[in-house]
Amino acid sequence: MAAKQFEDLLEPADCILKDAELIYYLDKGSFGRVDLVWFRGVLACKKSGNARDTEMTDRYHQEARMMHDLHGLGGAPMLYCVAIDKPIIIMEFLEGFNLSNFILEFERDNEAFVSAIRSLGKKLLEIHEAGYIHGDVHMGNIIVRRTSRGEIVARLVDFGFCRTMAPDRLKKAQITGDATVLEIFLSFGCHHN
């Protein structure tokens, strides 16, 4: 099935809200809150901001546009729909822990942590090679889970600061394999004794 055009994902907020049954609150950030919802037959995340703020609606449209254009690349959640008239995005629900909680859950499993960071490096590389930068990589915006086969998979969320990168800047910013893992590891203040 071909990907829908971005404009085909725009709907009035009232239509979206009537189909989004709240399951529970997940998290809150600077620009809104995220809830787990049952939406048109699937578990989904609903990200919503201040409904009276038109600048916020524009910001959400920009984030949704980036997610749409990435279409799952780099582990970005799939976009289901966006409100035309309010800051509301409905997107794929990503199972797992944010990286902070993953570290707490698997604190004695160094191999799991390194696997998570390697997976994150691969996802960031995919995004960069496609000409985008995430712009807000931190432990709360990284979702990590262990698959049924035992594989550790990291994915990124919150594409509010995501932007396209000019090709000349992309060459300067390119990252590769182990260098990515080391840079990410050090950026979180992790040190090996």
The answer to whether residue 45 scores a pLDDT higher than 80 is yes
Q: What is the DSSP pairing of strand 132-133 with strand 163-164? A: antiparallel
Q: What is the pLDDT of residues 91-116, one digit of tens each?
A: 999 999 999 999 888 878 889 989 99
pTM for the full predicted model: 0.84
- The residues of the chain that CATH labels 3.30.200.20 are 6-92
Residue 168 — pLDDT band, cuts 50, 70, 90? low
To the question of domain 6-92 being in CATH 3.60.20.10, the answer is no
Residues of the chain with CATH 1.10.510.10: 97-187
pLDDT tens digits for range 128-163:
888 898 988 999 999 999 999 999 999 999 999 999
Q: What is the mean pLDDT of the chain?
A: 85
- Give me the percent of the chain exceeding a pLDDT of 90: 56
Name the CATH superfamily housing domain 97-187: Transferase(Phosphotransferase) domain 1 (1.10.510.10)
pLDDT at 179 over 80: no
Of the two residues 23 and 54, the one the predictor is more confident about is: 23
For residues 70-92, average pLDDT: 95
